Amino acid sequence: MNIAMRRASFAAASLLMAAIGFTSLFMSVDGTGARNEFIIQVNESGFNPPSCTVNKGTTLRWLNVGQEVHRVVRPDVGVQVPPLFDTGDLQPGDLSKRFELTIRDTWDYEDFYNPELKGRVNIPNATSAESCDLQPPTATPTLTPTPTPTPDPGRAFIPGVSRGEQPATPTPTPSPTATPDPDPE
């Protein structure tokens, strides 16, 4: 084998290894071979939990608990480059295929249809305690109803006119009456 053929073979092998390493950042797994599996929920408000710390070899899945279609992707930095991983469309109630995390790093991901919805997975260099538990829902404040003012019975009420613009009811003025003279002369 001459030098040119060795260089070409080496370059092809290098490219193949780089491609395998690149695609294994998030490897799709059809079986249940991972040590741990966590499910991250997605809905119109975002991801739950929004951030996870897991170990290498952990499997993640995404569950659409919303009312709209979601698609979780880890976008590439290149222009018109396919995402580094992609769950595909998740209809309401759908659970994604499994993604085994094979590279230690921090991975940001987002909803393809609503990029403002972002999440993060941290895979530390050393094995650590995993934290990828669902967060309790945020309490929705209860609104206190505003009391409706009771109309003043002494005032006239004109429908369609605000209370402040209602005309004041005139106070009746007593009419003068003649009083008899107590001492007629």
Put the strands of the sheet holding 72-74 in their side by side order.
51-53, 118-122, 106-111, 72-74, 85-86
pTM listed for this prediction: 0.55
* Matching CATH number, 26-122, of 2.60.40.10, 2.60.40.420, 1.20.1250.20, 1.10.3720.10: 2.60.40.420
Task: Identify the three-state secondary structure at position 110.
Answer: strand
Domain ranges of the chain: 26-122
Q: What phi, psi does 10 have (nearest 5°)?
A: -65, -45
When pLDDT is cut at 50, 70 and 90, the band that residue 179 belongs to is low
What does the pLDDT look like over 108-118, one tens digit per residue? 999 999 999 99
Element at 153 (helix H, strand E) = none
* Confidence check: pLDDT of 54 > 80: yes
What does the pLDDT look like over 83-127, one tens digit per residue? 677 899 999 999 999 988 888 888 899 999 999 999 999 988 877
Least confident of 12-26, 115-129, 159-173: 12-26
Q: What phi, psi does 20 have (nearest 5°)?
A: -65, -45
Residue 155 has what pLDDT? Answer: 59
Contact 151, 164 (CB under 8 A): no
Element at 148 (helix H, strand E) = none
Average pLDDT of the chain, as a whole number: 74
Residue 70 to residues 47, 57, 127, Cα–Cα distance (Å): 11, 25, 31
Rounded CA-CA distance 89/30 in Å is: 17
